[in-house]
Structure formats: C-alpha cells, structure tokens
Amino acid sequence: MSLEIEDLRIAIRGRTVVDGVSLSLGDGDRLGLIGESGSGKSLTALAMLGLLPPGSTVSGSIRLDGRELVGRSDRELAAVRGRQAGIVFQEPATALNPVRRVGAQIGESLRIHYGFTKRQALERAVKLAARVHLPDPERIVYRYPHELSGGQRQRVAIAAAIATGPRLIIADEPTTALDVTIQAGILDLFDHEVTRSGASLLFITHDLAVLARIVARAAVLADGRVIEQAAVADLLASPAHPVTAALAAAAYATSFVGAPVASRPLPAGTPVASQPLAADAPVASRP
C-alpha cells in the first residue's frame, strides 16, 4: 500500500509539534523514521491512524493508496486502522488490555472489521500465535497479558497487528522496552513477517543500529521537520544535515562494536534467557 504524506502539520493545544512533514512510501517499501525525543516521529505515525491526543489539530495531507485520511471521521479512521494498517507500539504492557485474554485481543480486529464469530476469531488467533512463535499457541490464547513475559506480550501485539493482513504496518519503537536478546528475536520476526506479507513498513526508532537492521532508507526528523531523507548507509557515512551528523557521531560513539559471535548462532526467535545454559556453572574469571 502506498503512503503519501504532504506538508503534515500537527498542533497540540496551539503548540506546533509537527511542522510540515512530507514523506512517501511505495507499495511494499520500508521506511525508517529516526529522531530524538520530541522530534515528532511518533506523532506523525499516530496522525495517520487518527490516534492523536484530544486537542490536536491536523492539516496537510495523508493519502493511503490515494485516499485522503486528513479530515475523516474517527469512525472512518477506525476502519482504516482495522483493515488496512496494523500498528505495534513500544510498550506492550500498556498497549494490550490487561483484563482481556490474549486470544480475544489478537482476534479483535477480525471480529469488528470482518465479522468473524468469537469462535472463528479464536481459531485464527491460535494460528497467529503460532506464526509469531508464541509457545503453546492452543493454550496461550486463554492467558492474560500479565501472565506473559515482555517479549511474549510484544509477539501478541504483533499477532494482533497482522491479523487482518494489513497492507501497511507501523512500528513505533517496538523493541525499546525489551532486553537485547529479546529484541533480536522480535526484529527477526518483524523482518520475516513484513517480507512474507509484502506489506509496506514504517519503522520508528531512536536507535540507528536497530534502524540499520530493519530498513534501507530513512527520514530524519528534528523539531517536527524532516531534515534529511536518504539510504541509511548514507545517513551514517555521509550525513548532509548537522543534526544527522550529530546523531550518527553519537551512535558510533556509544553503540557496540564487535564482530558477530560466529561460532554459536542463536536459533531465530529464541530468547536466550529461556535456553538451558550449556553449563550452568560460571566461567572462571579472567585476571
């Protein structure tokens, strides 16, 4: 699904927070949005789905496959959210409803937007749970979010986001709240699902190393504006804008450097913490 954003402006209670953002994403393409806190990257995504906080005003244009979204009613935007776009947020603990079973939440959009019965939706939820590598899918659908680990909750959120086979997937810092070994599995899952479905992907992050893992092209946001848009490799190697240069320099000054640990690749999607350790005994300390 193609996405065209033109001169998007968002003000919250009179304060401009997104100030003329233009982006375009072709059908099946991936685009990263990167920037520091307050740069406007999350609000840009929320605007597409009509999920902005009360008191927000939006102008400009957001077109999904040529259909204008700005100015539509909440009801129409809800239909877009349910059928055509799936979104995964940073914190699955708050994005999921704590008092509803996992399976009901995975299947919810199928019931609302495609008329599935409770039973059909649950059957589908079991399949989706298996697809996102949740353990024991037949039983996990009857559990509540608090009974799951953070990584498992994020897999539930992904299953719910892809349930209707959306043509656009939006991910807003989907691994920021997770441990690094869990993050690796979730990023693998995203990569795999987006490739398999051929959906377009808008991936929002503040982490350039995560960005480089998932997308080839990204837009840099600062103070509510797109300051640069280019291949991630170019943003890192030859940034054109001073803000991008500062981001890249800081990333190289703080992120991990090292060859991959070659001899022991992890099976995709397996959280390290749950694997039996080769030897539970600690390794002798080196002087």
Partner 1 sequence: MSAPLLSARGLARDYRLPRQRLGGPHPVHHALVDVDLDVDAGEIVAVIGESGSGKSTLARLLLALDRPTRGQVTFDGRPVVAGPARNLRWLRAGTGIVLQDPYASLDPRFRVHDVIAEPLRALKVPGDHRRLVADVLTRVGLGPDRAASYPHELSGGQRQRVALARAIVHRPRLLVGDEPTSALDVTVRAEIIALLRDLNATLGLAVVLVSHDLGLVQRFAERVVVMHAGRVVESGPTGAVLDDPRHAYTRGLVAAVPRLPVRSTDA
- Per rule CB under 8 A, is residue 36 in the interface with partner 1? yes
Nearest distance in Å: CB 181, partner 1? 4
Label each residue of the chain as H, E or C.
CCEEEEEEEEEECCEEEEEEEEEEECCCCEEEEECCCCCCHHHHHHHHCCCCCCCEEEEEEEEECCEECCCCCHHHHHHHHHHCEEEECCCHHHHCCCCCCHHHHHHHHHHHHHCCCHHHHHHHHHHHHHHCCCCCHHHHCCCCHHHCCHHHHHHHHHHHHHCCCCCEEEEECCCCCCCHHHHHHHHHHHHHHHHHHCCEEEEEECCHHHHHHHCCEEEEEECCEEEEEEEHHHHHHCCCCHHHHHHHHHHHHHCCCCCCCCCCCCCCCCCHHHCCCCCCCCCCCCC
Segment lying near partner 1 (by CB under 8 A), choices 50-58, 116-124, 130-138, 267-275? 267-275
Binding test (CB under 8 A) with partner 1, winner from 14, 53, 115, 282: 282
Binding test (CB under 8 A) with partner 1, winner from 78, 246, 268, 269: 246
- Minimum CB distance to partner 1 smaller for 14 or for 267: 267
- Minimum CB distance to partner 1 smaller for 142 or for 252: 252
Per-residue contact string for residues 196-235; x = within reach of partner 1 by CB under 8 A: ----------xxxxx-xx------------------xx--
- Per rule CB under 8 A, is residue 15 in the interface with partner 1? no
Per-residue contact string for residues 57-96; x = within reach of partner 1 by CB under 8 A: ----------------------------------------
Give residues in contact with partner 1 (CB under 8 A).
36-37, 150, 179-184, 187, 206-210, 212-213, 232-233, 236-237, 246-247, 249-258, 260-261, 264-266, 272-273, 275, 277-279, 282-283, 285-287
